[in-house]
Structure 1
Amino acid sequence: MRTKYILTVAAIVAVTKSGFAQYSADALKFSQFQTGSTSRIKAIGNAGTAIGGDLSNISGNPAGLGFFTKSELSITPEFNNLQAKSNYFAGTTTANQATSNNVNFNNASVVFYNRLNKPRGASKTEGWLSLNFGISYNRTNNFYANTAFGGNNTNNSIADYFKELADADPSTTYDNSIQNWGYNQYLIDSVGYNKRPVYRSNVAASASSPTNQLTNTTTVGGQTSFNFSMGANYSNQLYLGIGIAVTNLRYNTSNTFTETGYQFADGLNYTTQYQVDQITKGNGASITLGAIYKPVDALRLGFSFTTPTWYTIDDDYSESLTTQYKGSNKYSDGPADYPLSYSLRTPLKVSGGAAVFFQKFGFLSADIEYLDYSSIHVSNSSTTSDGYDNSNSGYNPSQDNSDIKKLYRSTVNAHLGGEARLSSAFALRAGYSIQGSPYVNTALQSNITTVSGGIGFRTGSYYVDATYANVTGSQNIYPYVVSATDSPYAHVDKTYNNVFLTLGMRF
């Protein structure tokens, strides 16, 4: 199978500069999903591991279901605004901006309270008191984004990237590969006629003759989960739970890289466009175990363990290359389509938290999560003994798994939040969270921080919670990677402005 060349990569291969990864970048993207939650828990920075009695416990810590003494349901729509600002070559070109807005259905949950029967005369506050069941739908990742960056490149051209691919394996200039297309479209040439020719770029970028480059990327899709959980209450002191998540992912992206410059071999100006489209779908499952312990009424200690999510993923990737020479010929190759099915194992997650309650006046809560992204694993169930697919794809996951172990690391996520009860009806909430960078080279992506706040209103059996969350982070994106000179990259700052509204009732 041809290597999957993703033109815009978030630096996973920019570290090694030895060639492009195949599916390891996607594996990371699909492993960074969030736990589904209601507006209330989002407002306190998702610090919900030790908070029982919230519908978020269905997908978070299922032990919290044991706190319910009535059945309850809610729905949570959301509005997402993404603002992306990028500077090509670390700010040496004019800033590019792009925005994306979308409305999604974030969460729908229901818990059924089930009090356990006890023998006549037995204490109603000791032993197993209830076994409650919950079902929820959650949107755990949002891929909707528009990103644009570009400017003058005085160091190199995408033709230099094609040249390095050809030098690495000259035989591929005779197949239907991207370096073959670059050769056919006169962006690169062979030098010499020996058995292993050397290739050159026909574009020599310089201060007097730069290449002008522009990358536009549009992405849609997300990850969702259906959660089925149960939680039990023992003596109003120990709460245990278990949950199963059935997950789904959809990731569609369209990336267009355009370059204009001067091709010296024929003395012509050119415009070349490399188009990449990807459609990815997948399904997976995981299990969560949880516990909450109350040593005293004012203190709750929570713990949860979530297994890896085991995915089966179908990926359909296509690419094409077109070059137009001013006043001369136009050349087109592709689109070439490369479908593949593979398996993905995400990291397991361990969470611990504590919450301190101040009687009826509110609470403070803090959580810590641990994940090891270097444990992500990609596999192909139909490989032969030498590691290659025995059918028609020929995908070898060994390079991806090697990249994952070298380039990703373990990380800790922290969540902190609180709720203040202004009256029996109104509550104010605030929170902060930080998600650690998964990269060994943390310059490739910053920590992701979230500042959130919200308000809650309750009357009788009904309630409304509203939350605003501001999410910020940055990353370096490389349109291509070359070893001889500085690879071009854009520093992208992303800001999400998210609004959540939960409508709920007890019954």
Structure 2
Amino acid sequence: MKRISTFIMVLVCAFASAQNINDVLRYSQENIIGTARFQAMGGAFGALGGDLSSLNVNPAGSAVFNFSQFTISGSNYNRDNDALFGNSFRNSDTNSTELNQVGGVFVFKSTDNPWKKLALSFNYDLARNFDNEFAVAGNTTQGIDNYFLNFADGETLGNLRVQQGENIEDAYLNIGSDLGFGAQQAFLGFQAGIIEPTDDVDANTAYFSNAEYTSVNQRYIQSTSGYNSKFTVNVAGQYQENLYLGASLNFHSVLYDRLTLLDEDGYDVSSPVQSTTFDNFLHTEGYGFSFSLGGIAKLNDNIRVGGSYQSPTWYELTDDVSQRINSTLAVSDINFINFSIVNLFEEYRIKVPAKLTGSVAVVFGKDGLLSFDYGHQDMSEAELRPTTDPNFTSENDFIASQLGVVNTYRLGGELRIEEVSLRGGYRYEQSPYENGDIIGDLNGYSGGIGYNFGGSRLDLAFSRTEQDVNTLLFDSGINSTAMINHINTNITLGYTLKF
């Protein structure tokens, strides 16, 4: 009788399908929503401060506060994805609501010291919400057989058989542990009947496809969930009347789940395989650390300038993967390989490059302000670690050749009419790729309103970003892509209490 339970195997090899350039980009692209005021002004706070989410841009910003205060913010996230695959178009829409920001600052003033103020603050921000989904369906000339053939090439047939005394679940896990992820994928393709050896002997290393087609129909769904959060501990001070200096320690937390579902049919009538399903589930969790330093200077009553350094972020991550596959030629036992069998992979690290930000702001007394931030980050310096891992060495070379400098521009403004504040902002972020056809530039705009009650303030913000992404459905063997237009719309409500 077959055992249906949870199997776990630690794989000492690198997980080729998950640990690549896509992971680096996933955890480097922060889309901090922050407080409603921060969001409404496009995040352009590097020379302003006075907002808890501004610590993500310039840690000197907490010294600008005149009073101790506490802020809490919640957001509704809407993801609208228009996906083009072949000649077919599909729209997917998802919504989620999160408590995305909580923080407080304590301000200590002095009258007999050149350091006029000392501020101690803490803040939690949702750096990125991974809740998303897109679906595509269409006709393509590249079937899933190419994925398995790519991994099978060079693998001996003897390694892909279920050995005497093994059941199919044990064989699947043992191959992954002993020979790596690639051999494990070849095993799935062979046992599912999608690929066959050219010679039925254990020493065989060449394979052909059982899928005969000119083109196939594919239906693909990718659903993701999770978050990348940042908890900041900050200290800053005001020196004399015109200089603010600060430093922060940032503690990052990652949880990411990705489910992909593929159905394929439309083969030739003579094809031995008539339908295939192949599903994958990836679970990633981990933590990271970074620090930041910054300063703000008042040049006169109206002009402020700021500069900050965000250190590299060092992530420690672990992956686990589950798979299931079936086809019209699959062995009868293949259905016992399913999401109850879990492959665990060794911990790996990602280094996200440092970032420099320069800022300038014009303050019109109590009537309003304009602010501009420029950010510079060289993504070609990103790394998967340990760098001694040969799989990571080649991938890091690929990262260095494909990614480049990301320039970010943020513009924000605020108009105050008695107790009411009207706000607007614009954000532009260059593609991290040298080739902008893979991931396009990001454009966003925002607006909002706030009302000051004296001892407290209520803020509402709306923001919208748009970006085109050319998404590979599989990381190996198949180069067909879906062009997806991502439109993210967020509505944030925040409440601030002074004390």
1:184 maps onto 2:223 in alignment: no
Matched residue type, 1:112:
F
Deviates more, 1:364-373 or 1:56-65: 56-65
Residue 324 of structure 1 contacts residue 330 of structure 1 at CA under 8 Å; is this kept in 2? no
Find the aligned partners of 1:41 and 1:427 in 2 and give their Cα distance. 13
Structure 1 counterpart of 2:209? 201
The aligned residue for residue 48 of structure 2 is 51
Offset at residue 261 of structure 1 (A): 3.3
Contact 1:466 1:501 in 2 (8 A): yes
2:425 to 426, 431, 450: 431
Q: Structure 2 residue aligned with 1:278, among 279, 282, 292?
A: 282
Please tell me whether residue 86 in structure 1 is matched to residue 83 in structure 2: yes
TM-score of the superposed pair, with normalisation by structure 1? 0.85
Residue 502 in 1 paired to residue 494 in 2?
yes
Q: Does 1:69 align with 2:66?
A: yes
1:158 pairs, out of 144, 147, 153, with 144
Is 2:380 the partner of 1:374?
Answer: yes
Distance 2:325 2:15 in 1: 15
Q: 1:249 to 1:56 in 2, by over 3 A?
A: same
Secondary structure (helix, strand or coil) at the match of 1:179 reads helix
Match of 2:413 in 1: 418
Matched, 1:219 2:224: yes
- Structure 1 segments unaligned to the other structure (5+ residues): 7-20, 120-126, 389-394
Q: Is the 8 A contact 2:273 2:327 kept in 1?
A: no
What is residue 337 of structure 2 aligned with on the other side?
334
Number of corresponding residues: 463
Distance 1:2 1:333, change over 3 A: farther
Percent identical across equivalent pairs?
A: 27
Instruction: State the distance in 1 between where 2:473 and 2:241 align.
Output: 56
Aligned to 1:392: none
On the 8 A contact 2:258/2:283 being kept in 1, the answer is: yes
Q: Distance in 2 between matches of 1:319 and 1:407?
A: 30
Question: Which residue of the partner structure matches residue 144 of structure 1?
Answer: 131
Show CA shifts across 1:235-270 (max 9, x none).
221110111111111101111111113367x74452
Counterparts of 1:466 and 1:270 in 2: how far apart (Å)? 54
Shifted more, 158-167 versus 74-83: the winner is 158-167
Offset, 1:168: 4.8
Question: For the aligned residues, what is the CA RMSD?
Answer: 2.4
Is 1:490 aligned to residue 477 of structure 2?
Answer: no
2:142 partner amino acid? N
Distance 1:482-1:240 versus aligned 2 partners, 3 A rule: closer
Q: What do residues 330-389 of structure 1 show as CA deviations (whole Å, max 9, x unaligned)? A: 844734533121122111111111001122221111111111112122224xx9xxx46x
The residue that corresponds to 1:398 in the other structure is 393
Aligned partner of residue 56 in structure 1, secondary structure? helix
Of 255, 260, 266, which residue of structure 2 is paired with 1:261? 266
Q: After superposition, what is the alpha-carbon deviation per residue over 1:87-120, rounded to whole angstroms, capped at 9, x for unaligned?
A: 102xx12x1121111110111121111012517x
Q: Could you tell me how far 1:31 is from its partner in structure 2?
A: 1.3
1:4 aligns with 2:7: no
| In structure 2, distance between residues paired with 1:115 and 1:467 | 31
Distance 1:2 1:292 in 2: 47
Q: Contact 2:41 / 2:412 at 8 angstroms: preserved in 1?
A: yes
Structure 2 distance, partners of 1:482, 1:378, is: 18
* Pick aligned residue for 1:348 from 345, 354, 376: 354
Write the mapping of 1:462-477 to structure 2, written as runs, cut at 5 A: 462-477=456-471
Q: Is the contact made by 1:27 and 1:344 (CA closer than 8 Å) also made in structure 2? A: yes
Opposite residue 104 of structure 1, the aligned amino acid is E
Query: Is contact 1:59-1:136 (8 Å) kept?
Result: no
- Superposition map of 1:85-164 within 5 A: 85-89=82-86, 92-93=87-88, 95-118=89-112, 127-153=114-140, 155-164=141-150
**Residue 232 (structure 2) pairs with residue 240 (structure 1):** no
Residues 373-417 of structure 1: CA deviation (Å, up to 9, x unaligned): 12122224xx9xxx46xxxxxx84323322222222221111011
Contact 2:410–2:428 (Cα < 8 Å) also in 1: yes
- 8 Å contact from structure 1 (residues 344, 379) kept in 2: yes
**Is 1:35–1:60's contact at 8 Å kept on the other side of the alignment?**
no
Partner of 1:408: 403
**What is the distance in 2 between the residues matched to 1:5 and 1:230?**
41
Cα offset for 1:2?
5.6
| 8 A Cα contact 1:407 1:439, kept in partner | yes
Kindly indicate whether residue 315 of structure 2 is the aligned counterpart of residue 315 of structure 1: no
1:2–1:177 contact (8 Å) kept in structure 2:
no
Partner amino acid for 2:91?
Answer: Q
Q: Partners of 1:263 and 1:481 in 2: how far apart?
A: 26
Structure 2 unaligned regions, length at least 5: 1-11, 162-174, 176-182
Which residue among 451, 455, 460 is the counterpart of 2:445? Answer: 451
In 1, the alpha carbon distance for the partners of 2:473 and 2:62 equals 47
